[in-house]
Amino acid sequence: SLGTFRPFVLAFLKLRHWKLFQLLSDGIHFLRTRLSSGSGKDQAGRTRTLMERMVGQKEIAYGSRLYRAAHRVFERNLADVARFCNRQGIPLFVATLVSNVHDQRPFVDSFSSRTDRSAWRGKLAAARQALSRGQLEEALRQVETLLATDSLPASAWFLKGQVLEKLGRWQEAYRAYYRAKDLDALRFRAAEAINERIASLSKTFQFHLVPVKASFEAGSPHRLPGKELILEHLHPNLEGYMLMARAFARALVKSAVFGPPARDSVPDSLWAQQVGVTDVDRQVAELRIRVLTSGWPFTNAPPPSKADVPVPENDVIARLAVQFWRDEITWEQMHVKAAEYYTRSGQLEKAEREFRALIQATPMNPSPYQYLARLLLAQKKYAQAEPILHRILQLTPDPFAYKMLGSIYVNRGDVELGLPLLKRAVELAPGDPQALYNLAGALALAHQHEAALDALNQLWSIQPNFPGAARLRHQLLKHMAQIKQSGEAH
């Protein structure tokens, strides 16, 4: 295909910046979608996954001409990127690649031209049966006989890895599992030769090599990355992404491109709380993976369409996940609705996590900070609310934030800090009775009795029966009278 002809690809990438080329490209895409189904379905009306739509060739044998061509293109592309970064003085960090080798069976087997595929598959099934019966030595003998006749099919290597694992021969199992992944003729998982090229180029061009594969192996049982860290064939789960982030962070610190770090390290227990992933996000991920793995290449059946997936009635969080996946609500709406549900049902810590997730995604939007602050204040979590209120005021002159932050300071005994904030709250919201009451109390503590009385009079004109106002007014007038009497006595 033209994709393996690198000069054509480079020319295409340059032409993409031309307006005329963009117009022609958009026109061709429009015609193609109008003439085809354009809906991700094949000619028989089957729903196809993105993986099925994007794959160009479903079988690329290990070491074949196309296999070698793809590796050459990758190497030259990465070399071009490294040269550009070196010329511009840009630090380049490139990670090694990792995929699920332990729990993902090979998708497609390649065979020698001499192999009777039907007979071979029958013998593989017999070896699998021996393994299932616990006849490990017999299963190993049968699979090694298969590999002696044809060493190309990945499924035999994967079965060998499973048998060796059961026998506790972990180093041999490791080699067999990785060999199975490399020989899988459906090239979604990169062969180890790609990692070798990355490592070689890192020495040639002096870019930073990030050992993501080694990090995943260190975090996996017997150094075999599988379902503990990877969702299906290669996409990491949340814990996997945390491992990846840690590997990049360590590489950045080691390189000193940003100077010395502010601290040596931060415990995972602290920054893991800041990732902004909640139960509803996990439900969305599980749904997407369930749909993805229900179609090709994991099965021969078509995956369900979005309309085919029912919306749960009795599980609010699952319902929100499905609605988001079906594009019926936005990501922000999903989290807001989840937070509202948790608040109504008294699950306030979960509601907090939803607002913190929104803050992570939209840090310049004051709205989730405001909701979170109210939630924390309602639980009397003043220490946690204080930095949130400060952040709100960095984003917007919010009267509620001024009022509550000033009140926190006054209650703490910092009247000098709290009083200006309460005054600002009343300036922005002169009709807020709570702000006026809090201001009156702060002014009284600051011995500004006349100003406190003015604030109470203003409150009296808005809401005469405000709780505590009459008592505060009585105490204030009594105190002012005592001061006056004391002055007259002297």
pLDDT, tens only, 378-419:
999 999 999 999 999 999 999 999 999 999 999 999 999 999
Question: Of 7-11, 231-235, 254-258, where does mean pLDDT reach its minimum?
Answer: 7-11
Q: Is the pLDDT of residue 31 over 80?
A: no
Measure the CA–CA gap between 91 and 84, rounded to whole angstroms: 11
pLDDT of residue 15: 64
Question: Of 45-54, 248-257, 380-389, where does mean pLDDT reach its minimum?
Answer: 45-54
CB 212 within 8 A of CB 247: yes
Architecture of domain 397-490: Alpha Horseshoe (1.25)
Domain(s) labelled CATH 1.25.40.10 in the chain stretch across 117-183, 397-490
Confidence of residue 478 (pLDDT cuts 50, 70, 90): confident
* Model confidence, pTM: 0.81
Give the residues across from 441 on adjacent strands.
none
Kind plus residue range of the DSSP H or E element containing 95: strand 93-95
Measure the CA–CA gap between 302 and 287, rounded to whole angstroms: 16
Q: What is the mean pLDDT of the chain?
A: 90
Give the residues across from 208 on adjacent strands.
93
Give the rounded percent of residues in the chain with a pLDDT score beyond 70.
87
CB 252 within 8 A of CB 258: yes
pLDDT digit string, tens, across residues 98-126: 999 999 999 999 999 999 999 999 999 99
Give the residues across from 47 on adjacent strands.
41
pLDDT of residue 1: 54
pLDDT digit string, tens, across residues 158-213: 999 999 999 999 999 999 999 999 999 999 999 999 999 999 999 999 999 999 99
Architecture of domain 36-102+189-261: 3-Layer(aba) Sandwich (3.40)
The pair of structure tokens assigned to 48 is: 């196809």
CB 466 within 8 A of CB 442: no
For the segment 333-349, the average pLDDT, to the nearest whole number, is 97
3-class DSSP state for residue 447?
A: coil
Q: Which fold has domain 117-183?
A: 1.25.40
Burial of 450 per CB tally in 10 Å (0-12, 13-18, 19+): exposed
pLDDT of residue 102: 98
* Helical axes 366-378 vs 348-361, angle rounded to 10°: 160
The separation between CA 359 and the C-alpha centre of its own chain, rounded to angstroms, equals 14
pLDDT of residue 261: 77
Q: Which residue has the tokens 């070698």?
A: 68
Measure the CA–CA gap between 142 and 156, rounded to whole angstroms: 10
3-class DSSP state for residue 116?
A: coil
Domain(s) labelled CATH 3.40.50.1110 in the chain stretch across 36-102+189-261
Q: Which residue has the tokens 């029958």?
A: 122
Please name the residue ranges forming H helices in 275-380: 279-292, 316-325, 331-344, 348-361, 366-378
Higher pLDDT, 63 or 5: 63
